[in-house]
Structure formats: structure tokens, C-alpha cells
Amino acid sequence: MAVEAIRNLLNQSDKAIFDVKNKLKEEKDKGISKVKEQLPTQEEITSQVKSNVCSTETAGAIDKNFNNLKDKVNGIKGKLEGGIKKLQALKAKLDKITEWMEKISKLLVALKSIILICDIIVKVLPKALNFLTGLLANGFAIKKLSDLIDKAKSKVENFKASITSFTKAVLSITAAASIPGLLIDAAIAALQKIINFISSLMSILEQLYLGYLAQCNLPSDPPINSDGSLNLGLIIDGLEQNEKTEIIEKIYNANFETIGYRRYKA
């Protein structure tokens, strides 16, 4: 019974590893790791969200660019996070297989001890048979006992062969599971690195956008249209009514850090 259960687990594990490898190849073929090429550069973000001009037309364009860039970057981030979840699910399958192999290894060790005892018994039984031959001289009983001993020897040998075969299979499957496992770990780390890079891009994007709002004296919580975009017409009208003609421009260094301000009349 134990032998059959072990055999089934080994077969299931082998099939599961094959399935994981195929799905890992599918994820690789999707080119998820290449999405960084689709991300806007810092220069592109700066050119689309930063301007020295405070006008309705410019503010509308910057608002549109900001939302488009934000949606694009968040969309790519979502794909990457989805890819990581799929890879983590594949890794969980491999971890489960490794766990099975550890349990099987422990079971095989226990079975080896039992088989060793059985092997000793079947080797001692012939001597007992010779003793009974001299005492009882019952041909039928001796023949039956002899057959049982031979059958026991055969089963012991079969068990020993199965344990040897299973031990090799466990080592093979454990090694086979470790290779895609390492590839998955590397892929997850690579995708997470891109996600971290995206977070820095989003930070730059938001800082530049808020910088433009501050530069043109636009409120941080301006009127919002029904579609969620800025109602820049109302904002500019409000500025004109309040006669806000002075413009304060933030000055950034190469790392997009504020290092000063420039003030001038509109």
C-alpha cells in the first residue's frame, strides 16, 4: 500500500514539474520582463509635465499628459504585479513538490529499517525449517512453510528494489524542481526591481505635476470635471479674477530635487 502511494506521488510530482516548466515558458514568451522598454524615461516625463508657461492651453495639455502617463505607468505596473502572482503560484507548486519529496525520503528511511528486519527473518527461517524437518517430518507442512519463506524472500527483494528505485526518483525530482525554482526566484526579483523603478518614476511624475500647479499658483485640490480631469478653465479664470500675475518657478537639479526658485511677472 505504501509503495503504491509513493509511486503515485512521484508520478504526480513529475507531471507537476513538467506543467510548471511549460507555464514558466509561457510567461517568458509573453515578454513581461521587457516591459521596462515601454516605460517613459525621466526626460519624456519632464518634457510632458513641466513648463514655464501658465496658460489655459498649456495647463490643459499638462493635465492630459499627466493622466495619460499615470495610466500608462500604472497599467504596466499592474501587468508586472500580475506576472509576479503567477510566478509565485508556480513557485508554490514546486515548494509543495519539494515538501512531498522530503516526506517520501523520511518514509523510505523507515521502510528500509523494516525491510532490513524482514531480510534477517527470511534468512533465519530456512534454519528453522531444517529444525522442523527433523522434528516433525511432515512433508505437507514443510512444503507449505518452504513456499511461504520463498514468497517472503521474493517480496523482500521486491521491496528493496522499489526503495532503491524510489530513492533515486526522489533525488531526481528534487533536482528537477530546483532548476525552475531558481529561475522563478530570479524572474520575480527582476520584475520587482522594475516595479521599484516604476515607483520612482511615479514619484518624479507627481512631483513635477505638483510643481507646475505650485508654479502657476494652481490649488492642490482644483475643481474636477465629471471624468476626473482638472477643470483648468475655471482655474485660470479664478487666477485672472484674483489678479495672480506673479509666477514662481521651482528650479530642479539633475536628480529632480528642488534647489531654488525663480520669480517673475506673468
| Residue 167 burial (10 A CB sphere; 0-12, 13-18, 19+) | middle
pLDDT band at 87 (very low <50, low <70, confident <90, very high): very high
pLDDT greater than 90 at residue 216: no
Q: Cell numbers for 160, please give them.
A: 528493496
Higher pLDDT, 29 or 182: 182
Between the alpha carbon of residue 54 and those of residues 71, 243, 266, the distances in Å are 24, 13, 8
Which conformational region is residue 243 in: left (phi greater than 0), alpha (psi within -120 to 50 degrees), or beta?
left
pLDDT greater than 90 at residue 32: no
**pLDDT tens per residue across span 172-192:** 999 999 989 999 998 899 889
The pLDDT of residue 23 is 86
Higher pLDDT, 56 or 238: 56
Pair 209, 48: CB distance under 8 Å: no
The pLDDT of residue 132 is 55
What value does the mean pLDDT take over residues 27-45?
Answer: 78
The mean-pLDDT minimum among 136-150, 156-170, 221-235 falls in 221-235
**pLDDT tens per residue across span 134-145:** 555 555 555 666
Pair 153, 73: CB distance under 8 Å: no
